[in-house]
Structure 1
């Protein structure tokens, strides 16, 4: 999360950039991106025949490339983009690209200290890099790339043994493992999925497939002593270090901790679990019956259900939850077991205030965008806007939006909703 304590929180509306004029300067302008603090807006622009760069607040990067994509602002508002030059790829940060070029890079992520990680393909082998420094060992296949909360620890599922086409026997004996900072576990498995780090980035857990029909969890390569019909992604308890994962037994889903059930296998589905910051409460998205999803805390589901529930958010104090409900093409925001008024063409993950008393969400209706606070819309909608950000004192909301061709930065008091 970016440090918002140094941002400008003076109430009011400020025009940052006339983005509408960019189309007169460039052959085309791609999707706009807003910095976390709302002080910058950027986009990929075409400046000539097969010549691309990025524009930030009206100023273009000096370098030109054959292709630029996947623009992302870092938490400290540097603009990054994956760039191609003469068939090779690298990362540009505020217009200055890394010195090394690669076969391909993707999946940019940021650390709290400004570090940047990417997945990398070089000479048809795969791994990861941190600030341009690559793993010492690369692999013929890698996927499920992940970065720890420190922004420097990296892991991925890797193939550690070659596999000929249709070589089912070797596959069933196991050819996959997890590489942590480039070093693979000693144990191999038929499949591995979704490696995750603990809070201190010292341990890694993942789903594994032991046989064609048996699944379980491995922690630092050591498997739980119980198999299940299926498992979903594990998480670490931030306080105790225990590992919990949704598991399937007898055709139903429950939750297991370190291999033992802590929620009975009573759900049609159970996944996307999330601990409170103190580790005392466990939240998850569950389906009490087929096709009816909701949120559960410590195994107890809310009464409200929807055909699909996504984007679970838990308040900083761990006592409140919010998520999105989806019924066909209609979205709703669900908070504390109740749906907010209104339905929307699209909605984005809810955001809690630092003091846990308020919830905001970006929504779209009739092609226009706005922000809701505790179910109440801001008094204006926009051509485009980004997810809201609360001030550290929880009394203000930052709205970053494009309104009539202008990128504007609005600091609204919560009383304005």
Structure 2
């Protein structure tokens, strides 16, 4: 499939589907999904009560299935869906199905290098399937699945020891570990959460619970020597390979790097660590005071505060950040560099930076209508359904995708 450099970036509006209503003879149709380039819109369509297919623009695939779930376009534009035949599930990529079938698949995952993966259950055991190849070893319990950004690897928290009902002693000895491509670390913990790959995919860090009271970070199976009251998801420094994580000491939260305090424990909460690409900056969502959140850059929080701050995203260089904030009463706003855009909305989605980091766009919804904001102002008329905006590689144009007046359209706007 084409990547952004090869997309059609000619300014103007094109109608991709003249009507998004179910096609003649179809019983019903699920919600549309848009490809990254806006050239294709897809949806599950019911041919009858027990037969389903995929509609792409105004065509319907010839293949039919007993069930179809979670149609999604990959970042490189391939249409995927989980499909069921004769009670078993597999992954459909465009019109080619993975060779194996499973008791169940869910939660399609995409890697930056083009990998497609999904958690799987087969005969009561759990693992992952990567590009159609399942783990050789499956486990009686697996969760917290992840995929390597470098490609070729998946990981998950797995249960390596069986435990009977109310078997507290075995649980406290440790029954969980991390499996990478199906191979478990030779060490167990009471609990593990959120395994994270390094950028090159060679290392994995994870939150662990060592006993009923002590938590720390383990890297490739080796835990830090320091224990904490609690920890959250770790992240790798992009160049040094060090591992940073939010940690709780004496009832307050800070950041530790390889087991040594980097940010003093002085926040009521701290999570969602993100390094800039060159590793010179570290960002996080923090609560300097109980119940009021903001974004912190190198341990210096924004002055902006809100009961909810989420979906933090960094500019390509990592020197700017944007996030969503809520008053905890269903109203949302977009915050960039600590300054909220005017207006509140019923819903908002993670902002998008331009390639040079100078501009920000975001999709918002109010009263059932969707608008794409550009630097805080509407970029076009409202849609009935909209998808996240996409900047052109040179940052001079903005692609909008959505449904308006029953038509699926793609709009390329020249930016001033």
Mapping 1:94-243, distance limit 5 Å:
94-243=94-243
Give the match's secondary structure for 1:172: helix
Quote the residue 2:247 is aligned against.
Answer: 247
Give the match's secondary structure for 2:172: helix
Quote the residue 1:330 is aligned against.
Answer: 331
Q: Cα distance, 1:20 vs. partner?
A: 2.8
Verify: 1:374 aligned to 2:375, yes or no: yes
Mapping 1:378-397, distance limit 5 Å:
378-397=379-398
Q: Answer yes or no: is the 8 Å Cα contact 2:151–2:201 preserved in 1.
A: no
Matched residue count: 414
Q: Answer yes or no: is the 8 Å Cα contact 1:195–1:206 preserved in 2.
A: yes
Q: Answer yes or no: is the 8 Å Cα contact 1:61–1:94 preserved in 2.
A: no
Q: Cα distance, 1:113 vs. partner?
A: 4.3
Quote the residue 1:300 is aligned against.
Answer: 300
Alpha-carbon distance in 2 for matches of 1:139, 1:372: 46
Quote the residue 1:18 is aligned against.
Answer: 18
Alpha-carbon distance in 2 for matches of 1:293, 1:19: 44
Q: Cα distance, 1:110 vs. partner?
A: 2.2
Q: Answer yes or no: is the 8 Å Cα contact 1:117–1:152 preserved in 2.
A: no
Alpha-carbon distance in 1 for matches of 2:101, 2:228: 44
Alpha-carbon distance in 2 for matches of 1:76, 1:379: 26
**Residues 304-362 of structure 1: CA deviation (Å, up to 9, x unaligned):** 11100000011111111100001111000000111011110100001111101001100
Quote the residue 1:281 is aligned against.
Answer: 281
Q: Cα distance, 1:96 vs. partner?
A: 2.6
Alpha-carbon distance in 1 for matches of 2:271, 2:113: 31
Alpha-carbon distance in 1 for matches of 2:270, 2:22: 47
Verify: 1:412 aligned to 2:391, yes or no: no
Give the match's secondary structure for 2:108: strand
Alpha-carbon distance in 2 for matches of 1:195, 1:126: 16
Q: Cα distance, 1:25 vs. partner?
A: 4.1
**Residues 10-68 of structure 1: CA deviation (Å, up to 9, x unaligned):** 11100011243425441001011000010000000100121111111121121111110
**Residues 104-158 of structure 1: CA deviation (Å, up to 9, x unaligned):** 1112122344331111111111111111111111111100010011232100000
Alpha-carbon distance in 1 for matches of 2:187, 2:296: 34
Q: Answer yes or no: is the 8 Å Cα contact 1:116–1:151 preserved in 2.
A: no
Task: List alignment gaps of at least 5 residues for structure 1.
Answer: none
Verify: 1:67 aligned to 2:67, yes or no: yes
Q: Answer yes or no: is the 8 Å Cα contact 2:113–2:149 preserved in 1.
A: no
Q: Answer yes or no: is the 8 Å Cα contact 1:282–1:297 preserved in 2.
A: yes
Alpha-carbon distance in 2 for matches of 1:272, 1:132: 31
Alpha-carbon distance in 2 for matches of 1:271, 1:190: 22
TM-score by length of 1: 0.97
Give the match's secondary structure for 1:72: strand
Give the match's secondary structure for 1:119: strand
Quote the residue 1:339 is aligned against.
Answer: 340
Quote the residue 1:34 is aligned against.
Answer: 34
CA-based RMSD of the aligned residues comes to 1.1
Give the match's secondary structure for 1:107: coil
Alpha-carbon distance in 2 for matches of 1:383, 1:247: 43
TM-score by length of 2: 0.98
Task: List alignment gaps of at least 5 residues for structure 2.
Answer: none
Please identify, of 368-377 and 202-211, the stretch whose mean Cα deviation from structure 2 is larger.
368-377
